[in-house]
Amino acid sequence: MNVPLLDLKPQLAPLRSQMLEAVTRVLDSTGYILGREVTELEEKVAHYSQASYGVGVSSGTDALLNALMSLDVGPGDLVLTTPYTFFATMGTILRVGAKPLFVDVSPKSLNMDPVLTAEALQADRAGANRIKAMMPVHLYGQCADMQPLMALSKEYGVPVIEDAAQAIGAEYPFEENGEIIWRRAGSMGLAGCFSFFPSKNLGGIGDGGMITTSNEDYAGVLRSNRNHGAEPKYYHSRVGGNFRLDPIQAAVLSIKLEHLESWHAGRRENAATYTKLFAEAGLVNDPVILPSAVYAQMEGAEQHNHHIYNQFVIHVPKRDELRQYLQDNSVGCEIYYPLCLHQQKCIAEHGYGAQSFPVAEAAAADSLALPIYPELSTEQLEYVVATIARFYKGN
């Protein structure tokens, strides 16, 4: 049996004619830069994400970059973030001339540890006071612990940019006046940054991204900066970039957005099936550590996107050997991420290599992502677990 890590063809098939019609409409319009398609998607994504404004951009990376530029983060500044995420989180910080200040992640969620974040902010205030933004990552489709992070943002006056590239629609349980209020990724900080890379839960047919915010003035700066800082055309009060979202991408994404909730539900159903199958195989905790859905027991969680499983990441001994065994048996898998950001060669000269973040480093050493996309069959999931069982227990 063949079980690819991701297969987009089953998702495309029922939407193909509708998508071709939308792409043809854009083609025939000859309006290929921004325009109605982009504006409509911005409004839809903002509404879906419980934010007031959406700003379509050319990629998730450019969403982060624009968000930082529009806060005037630059040389001499620090941005507080996690060492365990995709490179763009750190890369955009470096591109504006700032430096990342890393804190380790929580063992269960692998998202930024709020206690360590508080310690870093306190130390910074007592010193050079250089932290100009916090950039928590909602890793693998599960929100970071945002209530304490937002409290710290308010206490220290440091704005939060949510790296929600993997988490569109993911929800977090805020406790307000004794009640649980579920808030969506991209609605809690000053900005939420999304990626529409094809492998995401909401993926385009190429690169694309979105920034959400409920700050009207900030939204205006974001729009200006995505178009070379022009406001109005040919008048530049700031230096921006070319970060515009293509209308063809917007047209396709508007169609796919209507199906996103069912796709989230399908991924959660597959995660539940994996959990059941691993338990039946006697693999849970020894040797397979399953991903933690840390908000699943909160009030009303079953009615909310407490986890959208952009990835289903297990932690295992002999990870590299298991990966090869799965590939040899036609099971797709991937390592997210084999090296922490502070260990990357491109920043070695800045002394980051001497730093240690043991939880993140341990996760990088034993993590393995399994297929989780919603169109997987029960038989395919059973084959994945059976193959892992054979690796650890033999025939």
pLDDT of residue 231: 85
Residues of the chain with CATH 3.40.640.10: 9-257
Mean pLDDT over the full length of the chain = 96
The pLDDT tens digits for 308-364 are 999 999 999 999 999 999 999 999 999 999 999 999 999 988 888 889 999 999 999
**Range 164-170 average pLDDT:** 98
E-assigned strand segments in 143-208: 161-163, 171-176, 179-184, 191-195
CB 104 within 8 A of CB 358: yes
Q: What is the CATH number of domain 260-393?
A: 3.90.1150.10
Q: For residue 180, give both structure tokens.
A: 């649980």
Q: Is this prediction's pTM over 0.75? A: yes
Of 117, 166, 113, 208, give the one whose Cα is nearest residue 313: 166
Residue 384 has pLDDT above 90, yes or no: yes
Compute the C-alpha angle 152/158/161, nearest 5°. 95
Taken as a whole, the chain contains a residue count of: 395
**CA gyration radius, the chain:** 21
Mean pLDDT within 55-75: 98
Task: With CA atoms as reference, report the closest residue to 387 among 293, 335, 314, 309.
Answer: 314
Q: pLDDT at position 395, please?
A: 62
Start-end of CATH 3.90.1150.10 domains in the chain: 260-393
Q: How many percent of the chain have pLDDT more than 70? A: 100
Q: How is 233-268 classified by DSSP, letter by letter?
A: TT-BSS---B-BPPHHHHHHHHHHHTTHHHHHHHHH
Instruction: Name the burial class of residue 13, with classes exposed (0-12), middle (13-18) and buried (19+) by CB atoms within 10 angstroms of its CB.
Output: exposed
Spatial CB neighbours of 304, under 8 Å, sequence gap ≥ 6: 171, 173, 182
CATH T-level assignment (fold) for domain 9-257: Aspartate Aminotransferase; domain 2 (3.40.640)
Number of helices and strands in the chain (H, E): 13, 11
Burial 142-152 (b: 16+ CB within 10 A, else e): bbbbbbebbeb
